[in-house]
Amino acid sequence: MRLTELHRTSSFRLATSFLALFGVATLVLFTYLYVEITGFENERVDDWLVREHAELRREQTADLAARFEQQNLYDTRHQRPFGLFDAQGRHIAGGYPGDRPEIPAFDTPFALRLTGLEHHPPARCIAMRLPDARVALQCQNIRDLDHFDEELLRALLTAGVLTLAVALIGAVLVGVSSMRRLDAVTASIEEIVAGNLSRRLPLHAKEDDLDRLVRVVNDMLDEIERLMHEVKGVCDNIAHDLRTPLTRLIASLERAQRRAMNEASYHATLDEVIEEAVGILRTFNALLRISEIESGARREHFAWVDLGTVAADVFELYEPAAEDRAITLALHQDDTAPYCMLGDPSLLFEAIANLAENAIKFAPPGGHVCIELFRNQEAISIRVRDDGPGIPADERDAVFTRFYRGESSRHTPGSGLGLSLVLAVARMHGMTLSFEDIERGCSIILTTAR
């Protein structure tokens, strides 16, 4: 992104919006300060004039000329020029330069220009009409205050311009920083679109809102990459694992076609073909079942389920199969209270049933399989444990992959989809599926979300 497109970034627009808001607030504040400060100085001068005016009223009118002349002797800089004027406005006494000016109002302060002085400085004055038609004028030269007002205004304007300039530079820097981060994110996304699924969006140490969004997107990319690899693995595994039964099925049909068989041989061949076709159909049904679960379509039908009841149903279903293999199947619960959670009872039954079926399948004759429910303050757990050969630690992640068959299970009936289905059900319910390290056998724990 070029700098000419900086104004299109949301961060720059937001920064400039705050800059405009801050500028308006600063203008209002500086205007208020200027008006209050200058008003305070004028009020201070007017208060002094009112006091002098009141004192002047108490004096004898005959002594005003002498007093004004005495005051003029000490006012060499004409800071407080007083003037006494006759009825025709001619100057009688005092330091006021010139004759009587035009007076807008008597007995109240007013603004006046001292035209008789150099540069015509501004002043605040108050006038009093005497009984003999003379006029007494008292003034305060406010040239210094006027200069102070100008300097104050210049300082406020300078401070405002500098503040807005610094804020604008800050907005540009924020926008440029945001552009660079967005450029890095865009480049990463383009690389991902190009096919590099291992690429992730860059993270910074700020842990701001964009980093939180990037972290969520990276988690989503991890899940997409996992699913893509899983889909690829599924395709490869389908081609590999279904090739053998399909080859056997075709061979049986070709053998039946080439050879002259009696009715019993044909029935036997058909039974073999049906068995192979049923196995293939069972595999595809399992794949469709996993896809249905992973879609989450059934999550909206969740209801409160007692896991203890579900585990008891699994125990009753598989107890005869365990007895046929001389395996002791046990069910343990740490108390009689219900183990309630939100979920789909049929899917939870299917997940626990798959764990129990695998345990019975791999337990040795005369072995033991235990389904155990326990809880703590935060979660409910279901443990399915057997004393079979177990799963090596380096294969525990791989066994959840579809069609994966470990070395110990190569010659055992099955499609390698059971634990994949359990994992899909666990993810749908927000549960975790983990292995427990034990000396002998295999122990898998399903734990609800905390």
pLDDT at 367 exceeding the cut of 80? yes
Measured between alpha carbons, how far is 231 from 420 in angstroms, rounded to an integer?
A: 13
Cross-strand partners of 126: 138
The two structure tokens encoding residue 240: 């590999």
Measured between alpha carbons, how far is 406 from 132 in angstroms, rounded to an integer?
A: 127
Q: What is the pLDDT of residue 46?
A: 87
**Closest to 303 measured CA to CA, from 347, 343, 351:** 343
Q: Are 82 and 94 in contact (CB under 8 A)?
A: yes
Tell me what the mean pLDDT of segment 110-126 comes to.
Answer: 86
pLDDT tens readout for residues 19-65: 788 788 888 888 888 888 888 888 888 898 888 888 888 777 677 78
Q: Which amino acid is residue 221, in one-letter code?
A: L
**Closest to 367 measured CA to CA, from 393, 395, 389:** 389
**With bands split at pLDDT 50, 70 and 90, how would you rate the model's confidence at 233?**
low
Q: Are strands 122-129 and 110-113 parallel, antiparallel or unpaired?
A: antiparallel
Measured between alpha carbons, how far is 137 from 208 in angstroms, rounded to an integer?
A: 69
pLDDT tens readout for residues 399-439: 776 665 555 554 455 566 778 888 888 888 888 888 888 88
pLDDT tens readout for residues 124-152: 899 988 888 888 888 888 888 888 888 88
**Closest to 286 measured CA to CA, from 419, 175, 160, 172:** 419
- In the 3-class helix/strand/coil scheme, how is 433-445 assigned residue by residue? EEECCCCCCEEEE
Measured between alpha carbons, how far is 307 from 447 in angstroms, rounded to an integer?
A: 11
The two structure tokens encoding residue 345: 């009872």
pLDDT at 78 exceeding the cut of 70? yes
Q: What is the pLDDT of residue 402?
A: 64
**Closest to 245 measured CA to CA, from 289, 287, 286, 284:** 284
Q: Are 83 and 94 in contact (CB under 8 A)?
A: yes
Tell me what the mean pLDDT of segment 253-274 comes to.
Answer: 76
pLDDT at 1 exceeding the cut of 60? no
Percent of the chain at pLDDT above 90?
2
Q: What is the pLDDT of residue 288?
A: 66
Q: How many residues comprise the chain?
A: 450
Q: Is the dihedral of CA 288, 293, 296, 301 positive or negative?
A: positive
How far from 92 is each of 54, 86, 125, CA to CA, in Å?
A: 21, 7, 18
Q: Are 400 and 230 in contact (CB under 8 A)?
A: no
pLDDT tens readout for residues 188-218: 888 888 878 788 888 876 677 777 888 888 8
The two structure tokens encoding residue 236: 């490869």
Percent of the chain at pLDDT above 70?
84
pLDDT tens readout for residues 271-291: 878 877 877 777 676 666 666
Residue bearing tokens 């109002």: 105
Measured between alpha carbons, how far is 307 from 305 in angstroms, rounded to an integer?
A: 6
* Least confident piece of the model among 3-7, 109-113, 190-194, 239-243: 3-7
Average pLDDT, the chain: 80
- Residue 21: how many CA atoms within 13 Å on its side-chain side? 6
Q: What is the pLDDT of residue 429?
A: 82
Measured between alpha carbons, how far is 361 from 405 in angstroms, rounded to an integer?
A: 14
Q: Is the dihedral of CA 55, 61, 66, 68 positive or negative?
A: positive
Q: Are 81 and 97 in contact (CB under 8 A)?
A: yes
Tell me what the mean pLDDT of segment 301-313 comes to.
Answer: 86
- In the 3-class helix/strand/coil scheme, how is the chain assigned residue by residue? CCHHHHHHCHHHHHHHHHHHHHHHHHHHHHHHHHHHHHHHHHHHHHHHHHHHHHHHHHCCHHHHHHHHHHHHHHCCCCCCCEEEECCCCCEEECCCCCCCCCCCCCCCCEEEECCCCCCCCEEEEEEEECCCCCEEEEEEECHHHHHHHHHHHHHHHHHHHHHHHHHHHHHHHHHHHHHHHHHHHHHHHHHHHCCCCCCCCCCCCCCCHHHHHHHHHHHHHHHHHHHHHHHHHHHHHHHHHCHHHHHHHHHHHHHHHHCCCCHHHHHHHHHHHHHHHHHHHHHHHHHHHHHHHHHCHHHHHCEEEEHHHHHHHHHHHHHHHHHHCCCEEEEEECCCCCCEEEECHHHHHHHHHHHHHHHHHHCCCCCEEEEEEEECCCCEEEEEEECCCCCCHHHCCHHHCCCCCCHHHCCCCCCCCHHHHHHHHHHHCCCEEEECCCCCCEEEEEECCC
Q: What is the pLDDT of residue 292?
A: 63
